Amino acid sequence: MEKVLAGQTVQVDQEGYLIDPNQWNEEIARAIAAEEGIELTPRHMAVVKWIRETALSGKPLSIRTVKKSGVVDIKEFYQLFPGGPLKLSTKIAGVSKPKSCL
Amino acid sequence: MKSLVILGAGTSGTMMASHLSKKLNKEWEIILVDKDEVHYYQPGFLFIPFDMYKEKDVVKCKPDLLPKSVHYIPSKIDRILPEENKVLLEDRVLNYDILIIATGCQIAPEEVEGMKGPLWHKDIFDFYTFQGAVALRDKLRTWKGGKLVIHITEMPIKCPVAPLEFAFLADDYFKKRKMRNKVEIYYVTPLSGAFTKPVSSEKLGYLLKEKGIKMVTDFAIERVDNENKKIIDYGDREVDFDLLVTVPTNMGDECIARSGMGDDLNFVPTDPHTLQSKEYENVFVIGDATDIPASKAGSVAHFEAEILTENILRYIEGKELLPAFDGHANCFIESGNGKALLIDFNYNVEPVEGKFPIPGLGPLALLKESKLNHWGKLAFRWIYWNMLLKGIPIPFVSATMSEKGKKLN
Ligand SMILES: Cc1cc2nc3c(=O)[nH]c(=O)nc-3n(C[C@H](O)[C@H](O)[C@H](O)COP(=O)(O)OP(=O)(O)OC[C@H]3O[C@@H](n4cnc5c(N)ncnc54)[C@H](O)[C@@H]3O)c2cc1C
């Protein structure tokens, strides 16, 4: 479905994840984050960019890969994106959340 | 004489030996190496805790399952020297022209602090090993009830639906024993839900509610507190348990790490469509040992085996490899109460409703509970021993996924 984020029309799925990662930019990231009650700081943005690069290069995202990233440790990852850090950071990064086969 | 060496005589290695023994000419010797004599039917581990299968239902002797022309070596694999085309075993060295890595993956509970602690196989169990499944069965036989926590440590795991099936069967088991009211069932996952794909979560979400299974999502475990019987995540959330059934981290074998050929979890970087190793032209990888984004399942390995056989013949003839593998998976999911679901999907198409294997007719229904699917799941054991391992194709089911008969948007 269509949605207007930061004044731009984008395609999102039922849960609000961007369908086309190419429609992403930093303003859209800020708008998605705001909907989740997060104000993006430069620290958030550094993590979001790493999440985005990793996901777009086809590598799996898990707490283990974040732990090894060198970009953020897990305690801070949870502080930045409280509750479900992978679910939230992927959404803000304009990529799909980690999924199972079902 | 040229030599094709297969490492691991589990599902994938046995299938490749069966296929290739029929296809390779006399110039080739096929050598298969494995450390254990016993071949486990791993899908059967799900049924052991609930006394639905006995030990003898899930074991056979490895060499008995192999074609006679295959040279079987019972030995631990120490490491591969891919630059030298050699494999080091405990007491000898094998040279190869072509290598197939089929060493699978296994649980690594030591990856989480406290998991393999004092409560391991007392109040904390896995069911991904034969020993774990049997120990859990003995525990359940006398368990008086309490809080049962079914838990996934991290992805990827083999047969990603198995923990959910475990939850459904547990609900059923306690109902039949007239003690469901004494048991609380929790399902704790690092993902955002039990169902993470849109169609499945819409169509199957009811199952959890109907069975009274409570969810804890986005839970990334940091440690197990044995003293207070709690699992604790990196966000300091705690879930206490009386009985913890966990799926620990799944990792490729240590021999992959010793060979310097794996990623963080010892999975071998593999081309997702040709199944050739990304680094070495004459090394191929199949089944749970790869890092490809397909499900780690026996059915997937079966489809891969058909395609890999073709690609190995092409490689020998100097032809280009076919990028034919599409991630096809076909899995039965026990939903309890004598019913099961069936899902059929690939890299690009998520599980949807429809009929299988014959479009429009079935007789099996996709993404829907039915008694027939349950019989299908039970029949899978016979198919596994008698068709899959022998490399016999299953009628109407092709290695690549068919979009016919599916409700796609
Ligand atoms: C509980 C459970 C339920 C499942 N349910 C299903 C299901 O319903 N449907 C389905 O399709 N799949 C299911 N699976 C998954 C399926 O069993 C696996 O995907 C399949 O067995 C993978 O085959 P493989 O050959 O890659 O690995 P394996 O069959 O595990 O074989 C690996 C082999 O390599 C050998 N090996 C490893 N390292 C060494 C070494 N260093 N030296 C010597 N030998 C070595 C091992 O001894 C083993 O024999 C389930 C798995 C589990 C655990």
Question: pLDDT of A15-25, one tens digit each?
Answer: 999 999 999 99
Please name the residue of chain B whose CA is at the shortest distance from the CA of residue A63. B220
Average pLDDT over chain A reads: 94
| Angle in degrees, CA A88, A94, A96, rounded to 5 | 70
Asked if B204 reaches chain A (Cβ–Cβ under 8 Å), the answer is: yes
B154, B204, B235 member nearest A62 (Cβ)? B154
Average pLDDT, integer, range B58-76: 97
Quote the pLDDT of residue B197: 85
Per the CB < 8 Å rule, is B235 touching A58?
A: no
Q: Is the CB of B45 under 6 A from ligand 1?
A: yes
Average pLDDT over chain B reads: 96
Quote the pLDDT of residue B202: 84
Per the CB < 8 Å rule, is A98 touching B191?
A: yes
Q: Which atom of ligand 1 is nearest to the CA of B46?
A: 1
3-state secondary structure of A55: helix
Q: Which of A1, A4, A101, A102 is catalytic?
A: A101
Average pLDDT, integer, range B291-308: 97
A63, A75, A100 member nearest B160 (Cβ)? A100
Residue from B6, B39, B42 to probe ligand 1 pocket by mutation (most atoms less than 8 Å from CB)? B42
| R_g over Cα of chain A | 13
Q: Is the CB of B114 under 6 A from ligand 1?
A: no
Share of chain B above pLDDT 90, in %: 95
Quote the pLDDT of residue B259: 98
Per the CB < 8 Å rule, is B191 touching A99?
A: yes
Q: Is the CB of B391 under 6 A from ligand 1?
A: no
Quote the pLDDT of residue A14: 87
Asked if B192 reaches chain A (Cβ–Cβ under 8 Å), the answer is: yes
CA distance B261 to B277: 10
* Start-end of CATH 3.50.50.60 domains in chain B: 2-104+253-316, 109-250
Quote the pLDDT of residue A58: 85
Q: Where along chain A do its domains lie?
A: 2-92
Task: Give the largest Cα separation in chain A, rounded.
Answer: 36
CA distance A101 to B349: 10
Interface pTM, i.e. ipTM: 0.89
The length of chain A is 102
Average pLDDT, integer, range B205-214: 95
Average pLDDT, integer, range B4-9: 98
- The CATH architecture that domain B2-104+253-316 belongs to is 3-Layer(bba) Sandwich (3.50)
Quote the pLDDT of residue B387: 95
CB-hemisphere CA count at 13 Å for B53? 22
CA distance B236 to B222: 9
B8 pLDDT more than 80: yes
Could you list the beta-strand ranges (E) of chain A.
2-5, 8-11
| Interface probe, candidates B203, B218, B237, chain A, greatest A C-beta count within 10 A | B218
Where does B182-297 have alpha helices with state H? Answer: 198-210, 254-258
Q: Is the CB of B104 under 6 A from ligand 1?
A: yes
Please name the residue of chain B whose CA is at the shortest distance from the CA of residue A99. B196
Q: Which long-range contacts (CB under 8 A, 24 or more apart) does B110-114 make?
A: B111/B153, B111/B248, B111/B249, B111/B251, B112/B153, B112/B221, B112/B222, B112/B223, B112/B224, B112/B248, B112/B249, B113/B222, B113/B223, B113/B224, B114/B223, B114/B224, B114/B225, B114/B226
- Domain range B109-250, CATH class: alpha beta
Give the residue from A60, A56, A12, A6 showing the smallest Cα distance to A33: A6
Q: Which residues of A touch B161 (CB under 8 A)?
A: 100-102
The alpha carbon of residue A53 and the mean position of all alpha carbons in its chain are separated, in whole angstroms, by: 11
Q: How sure is the predictor about A59, in pLDDT bands with cuts at 50, 70 and 90?
A: confident
The secondary structure element, H or E, covering residue B107 is strand B105-107
Q: Respond yes or no: is residue A18 known to be catalytic.
A: no
The Å distance, Cα B180 to ligand 1 centre, comes to: 33
pLDDT, tens digit, 9 for 90 and up, residues B123-178: 999 999 999 999 999 999 999 999 999 999 999 999 999 999 999 999 999 999 99
Asked if A57 reaches chain B (Cβ–Cβ under 8 Å), the answer is: no
Asked if A56 reaches chain B (Cβ–Cβ under 8 Å), the answer is: no
Share of chain B above pLDDT 70, in %: 100
pLDDT, tens digit, 9 for 90 and up, residues B212-253: 999 999 999 999 999 999 999 999 999 999 999 999 999 999
B409 pLDDT more than 80: no
The Å distance, Cα B266 to ligand 1 centre, comes to: 15
Amino acid occupying residue B209: K
Quote the pLDDT of residue B201: 85
Average pLDDT, integer, range B339-364: 94
B325 pLDDT more than 80: yes
Quote the pLDDT of residue A60: 85
A101 pLDDT more than 90: no
Q: Which residues of A touch B220 (CB under 8 A)?
A: 63, 74, 85-86
